[in-house]
Amino acid sequence: MSFPDYRPRRLRKNENFRRMIRETDLSVDDLVCPLFVTHGSGVKNPISSMPGNFQMSIDNLVEEVKKIKGMGIPAIMLFGIPETKDEEGSGAWDENGIIQQAVREIKDEVADIIVITDVCFCEYTSHGHCGVLNGSEVDNDATLELLARTALSHVRAGSDMVAPSGMMDGQVLAIRDTLDEAGFGDFPIMAYSAKYASCFYGPFRDAAEGAPQFGDRRSYQMDPPNSREAIREIALDIEEGADIIIVKPALPYLDIIRMARDEFDLPIAAYNVSGEFAMIKAADKLGWLDGKKAMMESLVSIKRAGADIIITYFAQEAAELLK
Ligand code: PBG
């Protein structure tokens, strides 16, 4: 059927027609809200490149989580900023580390919200790399045991799901084995499987104070021009025991989300990262585009590309509009 018999505009005539034939639904159920926790009390430091986001001490964090739960958002994802850093990043697996304390407190105070914890070392190491160093290289295999130890300490503190983001080879297997041996076989792993070495993490590195002190992350995170490699990375993580896979960033990698959706059955999360958030906020502030509309269009495009879950700093603002 072609013009003039077929006229696509017939079904765009008004909002009811558009609503009826809409192919993609964005829902508050899809959202995960990332949060930054720091030491101290009464702390709520605004993050300048991420308006509306804060480094919060645990007392304020708990209040924020209550608010997020009240908005119907099903999950938060926690990033910790430790008081001190060292070569190995030992604060990451400290039983009284910032994440462990925060998770315990949230679990005591707020019922019925999923707490996901990021498992990585860049916020905890003095050099800012995502694992232990051997010379100036990140030592993959030496890092695995420390990642597993960290993930176990998170789950022991009450984390519902761990999300290893360091892009070490074998990290999902190391964590799966350790959790299983410790009796946590029913705790899922959300794996950052296709995580690219992206400049869009810039604002996050200020927020989490985890910028590398020398070099960059290109020897462990993926090279942006690659897509077939993403499929291999995801396949490996699924074999190693991942329950949910993450593609990160989201908007510049919608093709990767789509490929992953076509290739795999597992739930896919897309991480709408700090730089994607900051761009829209900046343009909105300049009056160059409508920030709320740009937010909703971006989020729906991530869903349309094939993501089931969207990790986004827009979670609360979007939830407001989706009510
Ligand atoms: C830790 C980590 C990073 C992000 C999430 N986990 C930073 C990085 O890899 O440099 C970035 C998230 C964002 O930009 O919103 N490895």
Instruction: Write out the catalytic residue numbers.
Output: 195, 248
Residue range(s) defining the domain that contains residue 247: 24-321
Indicate whether 9 belongs to any domain.
Answer: no
What the block records as the tokens of 215 is 């070099």
Q: Which residues pair with 270 in a beta bridge?
A: 247, 310
Residue 210 has a pLDDT of: 86
Q: Is 93 in the pocket of ligand 1 (CB under 6 A)?
A: no
Number of domains the chain is built from: 1
Q: Which residues are CB-neighbours of 124 under 8 A, at least 6 positions away?
A: 80, 82, 85, 86, 89, 90, 91, 92
Residue in this structure with the two tokens 């192919």, named with its chain if needed: 23
Considering just the CA atoms, what is the radius of gyration of the chain in Å? 20
Residue 209 has a pLDDT of: 87
Q: Is 171 in the pocket of ligand 1 (CB under 6 A)?
A: no
Number of separate helices (H) and strands (E) present in the chain: 11, 12
How far apart are the CA of 79 and the centre of ligand 1, in A?
A: 9
Residue numbers in the chain where pLDDT is lower than 70: none
Residue 323 has a pLDDT of: 85
Helix (H, G, I), strand (E, B) or coil at 182: coil
Indicate whether 15 belongs to any domain.
Answer: no
CATH code (residue 293): 3.20.20.70
Indicate whether 249 belongs to any domain.
Answer: yes
Q: Is 190 in the pocket of ligand 1 (CB under 6 A)?
A: no
pTM of the model: 0.97
How far apart are the CA of 135 and the centre of ligand 1, in A?
A: 23
Pick the closest to residue 314 from 206, 322, 306 (CA basis): 322
Indicate whether 85 belongs to any domain.
Answer: yes
Indicate whether 39 belongs to any domain.
Answer: yes
Strands 190-195 and 31-38: unpaired
Residue 206 has a pLDDT of: 85
Yes or no: say if 76 and 33 are a contact pair by the CB < 8 Å rule: yes
Indicate whether 130 belongs to any domain.
Answer: yes
Residue in this structure with the two tokens 């604060």, named with its chain if needed: 91
Q: pLDDT digit string (tens) for 233-280?
A: 999 999 999 999 999 999 999 999 999 999 999 999 999 999 999 999
Atom number, ligand 1, closest to the C-alpha of residue 272: 15
Indicate whether 11 belongs to any domain.
Answer: no
Indicate whether 14 belongs to any domain.
Answer: no
